[in-house]
Amino acid sequence: MIKLSGVTRKFGRTVALRDVNLKVNEGEFLAVTGESGSGKTTLLQIMAGIDKPTEGKVTVAGTDLTDLSENDLAVFRRRNIGFVFQFFHLIPELTVVENVELPMELVRSRWDKTMKLTKTISFRGVSYRTYPQVVELLDLVGIKNQYFNRLPDELSGGEQQRVAIARALANNPMILLADQPTENLDPKTGLKIAKLFEKVHRELGKTLVIATHSRDIISLASRVVGLEHGQLFERR
């Protein structure tokens, strides 16, 4: 699914990644561990096509990312990659439902018959029509109905991260990448989010790559790799 061969990423003099070779199979749940500054975030961003390697080749879902232009990368990300951030980064002006809808709107064609505005949600006297897929996703990640029409800053951290996971899954991508998704949450909520990732992996069969320090996620992962000073090694 994801193949990195000889990937090196330099920022000026500092080397974030040094000759990384990694192959992630389809349906695998991979945890990437390592100290802060060891290159985890850079590795994930290279996989997502947000960042480009200085040297080496990246192939994701059969597409060679190294040759794509910035525009093509954006189009590639829409369908193939879901990204979850450490600090959630929901769009503060959009409600929960609209946040999940946004990536769907990006890829929806006008003639798509499977996307129909059949679900109506109402909140504080305002009703809003949305796609059943949005409601299904929010149900899957465990967001209660009364939160659907709220702005992100009215939710707790754990709930925001759930919405962020739903947003990452919006276009049914094959690959879900998460950059320290539980590090900004308390241990109990962190465990719940870890279990949610495991559920997504089990029920939807997504390929999951999570950069983390969390023992919960590491114990749930099917494979663990470590990063030290930009060099990759297998841990389990």
In the bound state with another protein, the residue whose beta carbon lies nearer, of 47 and 220, is 47
Number of residues that bind another protein (CB under 8 A): 42
Q: How far apart are the first and last CA of the chain?
A: 19
**Quick check: 172 and 191 in contact, CB under 8 A?**
no
Angle at 144 (CA atoms; ends 139, 148), nearest 5 degrees: 90
CB 82 within 8 A of CB 174: no
* Separation CA 96–CA 7 (nearest Å): 37
Cβ atoms of residues 211 and 22 within 8 Å:
no
**70 vs 53: CA distance, rounded Å:** 13
- Quick one: 149 or 207, whose CB is closer to another protein? 149
CB-nearer residue toward another protein: 62 or 92: 92
Q: Does 133 bind another protein (CB under 8 A)?
A: no
Residue 236 CB, nearest approach to another protein (Å): 27
Task: Provide the minimum distance between the beta carbon of 59 and another protein in the complex, in angstroms, as a whole number.
Answer: 19
Residues 139-178 that bind another protein (CB under 8 A): 149, 151-153, 167
Residue closer to another protein, measured from CB, 28 or 183: 183
Closer by beta carbon to another protein, 123 or else 235: 123
Beta-bridge partner residues of 129: 120
Sheet with strand 14-24: strands edge to edge:
14-24, 2-11, 55-60, 63-64
Q: Name which position in 30, 51, 138, 208 contacts another protein (CB under 8 A).
A: 51
Nearest distance from C-beta of residue 222 to another protein, angstroms? 25
Taking each helix axis from N to C end, the angle separating 96-107 and 132-141, rounded to the nearest 10 degrees, works out to: 130
Q: Restricting to residues 59-118, name those near another protein by CB under 8 A.
A: 70-71, 74-79, 83, 85-87, 89, 91-95, 98, 101-103, 105-107, 117
Q: Which is nearer to another protein, 98 or 216 (CB)?
A: 98
Positions that interact with another protein (CB under 8 A): 41-42, 45, 48, 50-51, 70-71, 74-79, 83, 85-87, 89, 91-95, 98, 101-103, 105-107, 117, 124, 126-129, 149, 151-153, 167
